Structure 1
Amino acid sequence: MWYEINFNKLGVLMLPSFLRKPILVAYLQSLLVPIGNLHYQWKQKRLTDWYKINHTGQVCLLRKVLNDQLDVSERRIYIGDGNSFARKFIYTRAEHKPVFLGKMFIYRNSEYIGTGVDFIVYVPQAIINMRWNELNALINFYKLASKRYQIRAI
């Protein structure tokens, strides 16, 4: 590719042929070490940028990113759907609607339709304890802006 440059070889090729002595070539290559290091750092940054560009907020890709960054060996992090329960209301007699509730469960306010989370990230407790900020930063970077999430321990 166009960005694969061997600066040592390029420096030697740019020297006139009558100056290509071992001492001068070694001196020139020592002068080119900082440029080579800068080029290496640029290539590493390019690879991380390509990784970020190629991974989106889709569930499969978000799970892959989280496992690649936080749980490389065991890959235990997974993503589930958020809970969205319909609200049940109790009516008065004047409204002439059924008052019978049947079997009713009590949920947190964040678990109802329109107020709940869109997806739940299940993470091992050890990762939550040690790398909470990195986990939040990764999820916030890759998720869509309108999506809400919750992190739960496995």
Structure 2
Amino acid sequence: MNTFHKVQYNNIYNVEWKKLVNWLTPVTLRKKKLLALLYALVSPINDLHTRFITYKKNIDYRLKINYQVCFLQAALNDRFDYTGRRIQIVRSRQFDPQPLFLLPENKPMVLNARPGTGKILYTKSETGQFTADFIIKIPASLQYDLSELTAFVNSYIVQCRTFKVQTY
């Protein structure tokens, strides 16, 4: 493998503007007043460069987060509970739905005929058709905005996944 491909460009965006001004100014013209003027002229570029580096770091951080539970949980804790890191993501329990039939359909129906032999009826939210794919557990003492949390999670998960926020 070529050594060119192994080179990492971690410092490609680092620019020291004062050094650059000093290097590009001829030695004979390097006076305090001229250098102060050049530093003043370069300061807006330095500000834009600092904003760019901050934006780049934010984008790099967002690109490292995906729909996997460990990354999403870390991102939620970074955003909403940085010190305690108490937010957890757990799988929701799903049960198979039990069909109920009407009498004119002539199908057998057993509803807890004898203890241990009948079927258990689950609520609509507990059956496999209507449950969330995962549950975000947040401590009750934590202050958060539900719409902000929902938008934050929706920006990272696959769109067909559903979730529920639960306090503990």
With the shorter chain as reference, the TM-score category is 0.7 to 0.9
* Structure 1 CA distance for aligned equivalents of residues 49 and 134 of structure 2: 40
How far apart, in 2, do the equivalents of 1:87 and 1:2 lie? Answer: 57
- Partner residue in 1 for 2:93: 83
Question: Cα RMSD (Å) of the superposition?
Answer: 1.9
Structure 1 stretch displaced more, 137-146 or 110-119: 110-119
Show the counterpart of 1:138.
152
TM-score under structure 1 normalisation? 0.88
Q: CA deviation at 1:124?
A: 1.9
Q: Identity over aligned residues, as a percent?
A: 28
Higher helix share: 1
Give the deviation of 1:84 after TM superposition.
Answer: 1.5
Quote the Cα distance in structure 2 between the aligned partners of 1:124 and 1:117.
Answer: 19
Q: Which residue identity lines up with residue 95 of structure 1 in the other structure?
A: N
Shift of 1:95: 3.3
**Which residue does the alignment assign to 1:116?**
131
Counterpart CA distance in 2 for 1:93 and 1:21 is 100
Per-residue CA deviation, residues 4-49 of structure 1 (Å, 9 max, x unaligned), is 0011111121112211111111111121111111101100100010
Q: Distance in 2 between matches of 1:31 and 1:48?
A: 28
CA distance in 2, matches of 1:13, 1:89: 80
Which one is further off, 34-43 or 98-107?
98-107
Deviation at 1:113, TM superposition (A): 1.2
Higher relative contact order (CA 8 A, sep 6+): 1
List alignment gaps of at least 5 residues for structure 1.
Answer: none
For structure 2, which runs of at least 5 residues remain unmatched after alignment? Answer: 1-10, 113-117
Alpha-carbon offset, residue 133 of structure 1: 2.6
Q: Which of 104, 112, 129 is residue 120 of structure 2 equivalent to?
A: 104
